Amino acid sequence: MMQKLLKILAILFVSTIVIFVFGFSAKRNALHKIKSISIKIENDSQLYLTPQTVNKMLIQKSGNINSLPKDALFLNDLERALRTNQLVEKADVFVGINGALGVIIKQKIPIARVLDSTRVFYIDNLGGSMPLSYNFSATVPTISGINTKTDIAEVFKLADFIYKNSFLKGVVIGINKNKDNEYELLTRTDEAVVLIGDLNDLELKTNNFKAYYLNANQRKLNNSYKIINLKYRNQVVCTK
């Protein structure tokens, strides 16, 4: 009986020591100051947002982070602050074992540039508006002739389709909504207006246009027409 009691007391003693050491270590670790900041920006071949800008945003939110103990940082608050930037799609903030603050930023991707009567901005890959960047200018189609938020939501369907289609992405430089509320495309190799009308059957219209485009290049018919009309199923109507 005595031996059993001694075993229980020994287990309790060891458990108490372990808990004390763990708690003491955790407290000391929390008091350690941030040693460094590592900022990684994904899809960084086109930097619309720089690490320097991200660092300034962190300072605006929490001051000089290098002087703060780990437990003074509210990582969720830092992530929310970074996501308020219109160039940021996603932000992850964490503290490593070595005491370094890690920041991983995923940038939004501009897929078209909008020119309206009051401002110039991008439409991003999520369908929202995205400001121009001082650091990098995207080579994307320019959109004109739209005014309302409804137009932007609608034209996003077309801009996103062009962005994801390798043929159109390499050819189209402009999108215009004309006075008849029909969409037109401008291309880099032909002065003709490519009339697509509404946004139905985009896949079919693209296939028809691609067939015309390859044939026109082969026969050297570029710039022979003023309008290339894709509104009709299974045919391309060209007007001189």
Architecture of domain 110-239: 3-Layer(aba) Sandwich (3.40)
In terms of Cβ atoms closer than 10 Å to its own Cβ (0-12, 13-18, 19+), residue 240 is exposed
Q: Which residues pair with 36 in a beta bridge?
A: 100
Which residues of the chain are in CATH 3.40.50.11690 domains? Answer: 110-239
Least confident residue range of 22-26, 50-54, 177-181, 183-187: 22-26
Q: What percent helix, strand, coil does the chain show, rounded to 5?
A: 40, 25, 35
Q: How many CB atoms lie within 10 A of CB 3?
A: 7
Give the per-residue pLDDT at 91. 92
Rounded CA separation 218/237 (Å): 18
94 secondary structure, DSSP code: E
pLDDT at 23 exceeding the cut of 60: no
Rounded CA separation 70/99 (Å): 8
In one letter, which amino acid is 89? E
Residue appearing with tokens 């006075």? 179
Length of the chain, in residues: 240
Rounded CA separation 197/132 (Å): 29
Give the per-residue pLDDT at 200. 93
- Bigger pLDDT: 28 or 109? 109
Give the per-residue pLDDT at 75. 77
Q: How many CB atoms lie within 10 A of CB 234?
A: 7
Rounded CA separation 126/129 (Å): 9
Reading the block at residue 86, the tokens are 């219109």
> How much is the pTM?
0.77
pLDDT in tens, 219-232: 776 667 788 999 98
Give the per-residue pLDDT at 67. 57
Q: Identify the CATH assignment for 36-107 out of 2.40.30.10, 3.40.50.1370, 3.10.20.310, 3.40.50.620.
A: 3.10.20.310
Which residues of the chain are in CATH 3.10.20.310 domains? Answer: 36-107
